[in-house]
Amino acid sequence: MNRRLATDLPIQNPYIDTWKPIEYITDVNSLYIYEIGDKKYFFFGDQHHSKSEGGCEQKLGIKCDDYNKTFTNGKYYGSSCTSIGILLHNWFTYNRDFHINTDFYLELGFTNVDEREGLKETIREINKLKTIRHYEPSINIENISWMQLISSVMNSCFTKTKEKCPYYPNVHSHYADVRFLEDKSGFLHADPFLLIDLMNYIKDNFPRTEKRLLKLKDELSIIMSIIIYDYRKLLNGILFPEGFNDFIKEYTNLSKSFSSELASIYLSKIINMSKISVIRNGVRMHKAAAELLRLKEESPYMAILIEEMIYDKADKYIDEVKILYDEVLDFFESQYYEYGIYEKSVSLMESLQAITSALVPLSALSMDAYLLARMFLQTESSEIIAYCGSAHINHYSQFFEDYLGVKRLAGVDSEFDNRCLNVVDLPKYLDANKYRKYVVNKKYESFREFHK
């Protein structure tokens, strides 16, 4: 018989009533809490590519609740600190059992399948940790942020069908990143401002001759012209409910006129937007446009404000991109012949990296228009939780404060490489101690029942 042992129980400090209120959240980069009417909004910001670096245990030397190493249980210390990962588990368990309708949005690409190819390796390693004693994973989980990890730990919540999610039906989990689609054919990029895949292509085909370098310059001029001069047209294709088919047709025809492989790769990102589209009243449109259209029918002023913020931000970001691209053009016009091929190639790559980084906030806008519209269409939930990259979360915070005039209840702004948030007023608005005590008590009750 496979008996449960006392060592399987999750706590170091059994005196639950002495546990401190939780005022620290570790492994997360920013946090904002708002309230409109009887609905609370919780926005958690992530800095990708590390789970715990810059966290509270490293910075302050305090023990923080977290999942155990095998992700089979929580590990609780009764301290004033919790990781974002185990906090979400405790919170969702509590809300499920007490029938608190909750919508949880994660920055994760869309899918039309029940098994995500891109998560298979991480899910497989976590399953081995759960089932094989002393297993050493082949991937370094510490190099995966909690936002990226949560879709593997809670993988049944982020497939096409959600009924197997352990927090269902009171906690509804949603993937929110309309810039990506994962289907049986692979992982599709569908955003005209996110150039990370192009940067990887250029690195793999690093220009080593003058001819190749000048060809790359010409290819980039095509792409940057589309981004800089067509950015409003691109946004209209994402936000407007009319003209989507003509928009896709225009860029499909444009792609046929180019022999450049790099330009074709770029234009395919725009064409792929058709695969993220939906049909409303017989009209095809982008998912973001479809949600804004629904919102305009229920709350037109809110939809107008979302669109206003998107265009305001885009205008600001494109000005920054123009400055960086002008520097590239100046280099080719005035300094190009002063350097050797290697120095010129490295300089161009550095400039492209700066442009790619500057475009990230602009690329966030399609997802943010979609997610903000969805938030205000949710009428049955009393809690809305968004866990996304900090660039997205900054947009949501600015929308609530600058466009809606909603006062922040509590929060901590994003700071580079900081994953330790001290929120003194956190227990007033997010009682993480209540959630963990409930989960631990439930675990003990289950253990006692098992051993009767």
What is the reported pLDDT for 144?
Answer: 87
Rounded average pLDDT over 385-405: 97
Q: Tell me the per-residue pLDDT of 183-211, one tens digit each, with 9 for 90 and over.
A: 776 778 899 999 988 898 888 888 888 88
pLDDT in tens, 266-309: 888 999 999 889 999 999 999 999 999 999 999 999 999 999 99
Question: Residue 423: which region, alpha, beta or left (left: phi > 0; alpha: psi -120 to 50)?
Answer: beta
Integer angstrom CA distances of residue 309 from 106, 241, 288, 390: 21, 18, 14, 17
pLDDT top residue among 326 and 12 = 326
**Average of per-residue pLDDT across 1-17:** 55
Q: Of the candidates 170, 51, 31, 177, which has an alpha carbon nearest to the alpha carbon of residue 110?
A: 177
As a three-state string, the secondary structure of 298-351 is: HCHHHHHHHHHHHHHHHHHHHHHHHHHHHHHHHHHHHHHHHCCHHHHHHHHHHH
| Residue range 130-189, pLDDT digits in tens | 888 788 888 888 888 899 899 889 988 988 778 889 999 999 999 999 999 887 767 788
Residue 447: what pLDDT? 58
377-388 pLDDT per residue, tens: 988 999 999 999
φ, ψ of residue 90 in degrees (nearest 5): -60, -45
d(CA 268, CA 285): 17
Confidence of residue 78 (pLDDT cuts 50, 70, 90): very high
Q: Does 23 have pLDDT greater than 50? A: yes
The model's pTM: 0.91
Measured over the CA atoms of residue 150, residue 380, residue 368 and residue 420, the dihedral's sign is negative
Give the pLDDT band (50/70/90) at residue 4.
very low
DSSP 99: T
Check residue 265 and give its pLDDT. Answer: 86
What's residue 16's pLDDT?
87
The C-alpha atoms of residue 165 and residue 156 are separated, in whole angstroms, by 5
Residues facing residue 30 across a β-bridge? 45
Let me know: does 153 contact 230? Beta carbons within 8 Å. no
- pLDDT surpassing 50 at residue 3: no
Which tens digit of pLDDT belongs to each residue from 229-250? 999 999 999 999 999 999 999 9
Per-residue pLDDT averaged across 416-429, rounded? 95
Higher per-residue pLDDT: 66 or 112:
66
pLDDT of 343 > 90? The answer is no
